[in-house]
Amino acid sequence: MSAMAPISIPVGTHASAAVSAAKTAVKNAGGEVTGDDTTGEFSVNSPLGEVMGTYAVAGATLTVTITQKPFFAPASVIAMGVFVLLLHFVALAWSKTGPDLTTLGNFVFHPLAGLMILALLGVAITGGMFVVPLYAFLTTTVPKTETARTVAANNIVNSGAMVIGSLLAFALSSAGIGPVGQLLMVAVMCLMSAWLGWKLHLACD
């Protein structure tokens, strides 16, 4: 679980109505709300886990703070590793049933086309499920004045990792390990990414 920076919502002179509407929405979603029109706490279940938070009204501003929420980026990157592994085995068997280069029509009717598309689609979806929550986590668990600096630091780390990855891929290719074999390394790196993501989560919780 992880906390988020407070979210301030201007409500003008309608603070009481805004709080009442929010309470109704939470209760309709099966959640619980305790408190009055000025301060309180809420909790609601989601398919990924329980979301908990507090709210407070100060003047014309409603401040909502999520104190506990699911963090599923590590699970997503592990799932991505599984799809990368599937992609490896499909690519390994691909050359045994057809030419390395082919046309779009031949690809569609290839016996392994369905598995190839499934693997690529799985990598794309689970990759997005990893990256998007991770960036949201990085930008909401730090003070607003540090958000740009945090994103910049993450981009520098990503750039360095891409350079190192390119050099490693070049070295493996020189050693006779082609792209298909290198997919195994990518799958292993997914496990490392999951571990690093979880360590980051624990450090910022």
Instruction: Give the pLDDT of residue 4.
Output: 57
Instruction: Give the pLDDT of residue 12.
Output: 66
36, 68, 100 - which closes a domain: 68
Q: Residues 128, 82: one domain? A: yes
- Give 140-178 pLDDT, tens digit per residue: 777 778 888 888 998 998 899 899 989 999 999 999 998
The reply to whether 1 falls in a domain is: no
Higher pLDDT, 173 or 132: 173
Q: Residues 82, 98: one domain? A: yes
Average pLDDT, the chain: 81
Percentage of the chain lying above the pLDDT 90 cut = 20
Q: Residues 156, 93: one domain? A: yes
| pLDDT band for position 194 (cuts 50, 70, 90) | confident
The number of domains in the chain is 2
Residue 127 has pLDDT above 70, yes or no: yes
Q: Residues 96, 186: one domain? A: yes
* Pair 30, 45: CB distance under 8 Å: yes
39, 68, 97 - which closes a domain: 68
Cα(133)–Cα(123) distance, rounded to whole angstroms? Answer: 16
The encoded tokens of residue 81 equal 């590793």
The reply to whether 2 falls in a domain is: no
- 50: β partners: 45
68, 83, 116 - which closes a domain: 68
